[in-house]
Amino acid sequence: MLGTDYFYNKVMIKRPYLKLEWIERVLENPVKEENQAEDGRIRYWGYIDEIGKYLRVITLDDGITVHNAFPDMDFNE
């Protein structure tokens, strides 16, 4: 999986419970997708049964390179 240095060196270290397979699952089948107007990045949300929460995954504007991922406590489908 493509990811920024920030993703691999900060996000995955700060959130070691995240699994790359969850991130791939969200990117392959999001329940919602939204573009960020300010920088062109793309937000994806998907429900992860294993943690019982929605995961937000943010990619660069290419829609492939992961920049951030975290459980989104405020997301409502």
How many Å apart are CA 36 and CA 58, to the nearest integer? 10
**Domain housing 35:** 5-71
How many domains does the chain divide into? Answer: 1
Kindly state whether residue 53 falls inside one of the protein's structural domains. yes
Question: In 3D, which of 2, 14, 20, 9 has the Cα closest to residue 62?
Answer: 2
Question: With 80 as the cut, is the pLDDT of residue 77 above it?
Answer: no
pLDDT per residue over 11-69, tens digit each? 999 999 999 999 999 999 999 999 999 999 999 999 999 999 999 999 999 999 999 99
For the range 35-43, what are the long-range contacts, defined as Cβ-Cβ under 8 Å and sequence gap of 24 or more?
Answer: 41/67
pTM here?
Answer: 0.94
Kindly state whether residue 48 falls inside one of the protein's structural domains. yes
